[in-house]
């Protein structure tokens, strides 16, 4: 196959992927944000079993009981405003300046999807 044929195929193939996977553009972005900003502590799957996660005492986000202990609103607020422990030491930094409200909302949904 020559280069111009490849180029002609590329765009329809890309459109097919977008159509078949619904809102894949958004999902890819959420996945990227999770990997970039969250997975260092929470792990790719949300188990919190990374070195930084253990150090910070991140809980297991795949655990339905843990997930039931906070609402979507609380989650949104915590991602946006961050979280401190009883002594005022930062456990999770605020992401409000880094992520838009839409991106945070998408992450809230992403976290719910980690539940097993
Ligand atoms: C520096 C490590 C660290 C990073 C990075 C981090 N978190 Fe956390 N997160 C924590 C810790 C620690 C807790 C547990 C706090 C507790 O309950 O004691 C937590 C708790 C949570 C919870 C539980 C919600 C609640 O209301 O109790 C959610 C959801 C969450 N994080 C989502 C995220 C998302 C989304 C990101 C990325 C935008 C992120 N975290 C980045 C450390 C981190």
CATH (domain of 88): 1.10.760.10
pLDDT of residue 11: 65
Residue 10 domain-assigned (yes or no): no
Ligand 1 centroid–CA 88 distance in Å is 15
Beta-carbon count within 10 A of 73 CB:
9
Residue 83 domain-assigned (yes or no): yes
pLDDT of residue 10: 72
Determine the angle formed by the axes of helices 24-33 and 3-20, rounding to 10 degrees.
90
Ligand 1 centroid–CA 1 distance in Å is 49
Q: 75 CB under 6 A from ligand 1? A: yes
Residue 18 domain-assigned (yes or no): no
Mean pLDDT of 60-81: 98
* Residue 14, helix vs strand vs coil: helix
Residue 84 domain-assigned (yes or no): yes
pLDDT of residue 96: 95
Residue located nearest, by CA, to atom 7 of ligand 1 = 92
Mean pLDDT of 44-71: 97
Residue 16 domain-assigned (yes or no): no
What tens digit of pLDDT does each residue of 10-53 get?
A: 766 655 555 555 555 555 589 999 999 999 999 999 999 999 99
Residue 91 domain-assigned (yes or no): yes
pLDDT of residue 18: 53
Indicate the pTM of the whole model.
Answer: 0.81
The C-alpha atoms of residue 62 and residue 106 are separated, in whole angstroms, by 17
Residue 5 domain-assigned (yes or no): no
pLDDT of residue 20: 53
pLDDT of residue 8: 75
Range of the domain at 65: 23-112
DSSP, residue by residue, 22-83: SSHHHHHHHHHHIIIIIHHHH-SSS---SHHHHHHT---TT-HHHHTTS-HHHHHHHHHH-E
What tens digit of pLDDT does each residue of 83-103 get?
A: 999 999 999 999 999 999 999
Indicate the number of domains in the chain: 1
Beta-carbon count within 10 A of 48 CB:
20
pLDDT of residue 103: 95
């Amino acid at each position: 196959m020559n280069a111009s044929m490849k180029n002609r195929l590329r765009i329809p193939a890309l459109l097919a992927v977008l159509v078949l996977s619904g809102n894949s553009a958004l999902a890819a972005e959420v996945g990227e944000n999770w990997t970039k900003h969250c997975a260092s502590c929470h792990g790719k799957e949300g188990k919190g079993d990374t070195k930084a996660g253990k150090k910070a005492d991140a809980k297991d986000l795949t655990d339905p009981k843990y997930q039931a202990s906070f609402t979507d609103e609380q989650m949104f607020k915590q991602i946006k405003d961050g979280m401190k422990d009883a002594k005022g030491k930062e456990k999770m930094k605020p992401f409000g300046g880094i992520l838009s409200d839409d991106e945070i909302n998408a992450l809230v949904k992403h976290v719910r999807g980690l539940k097993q």
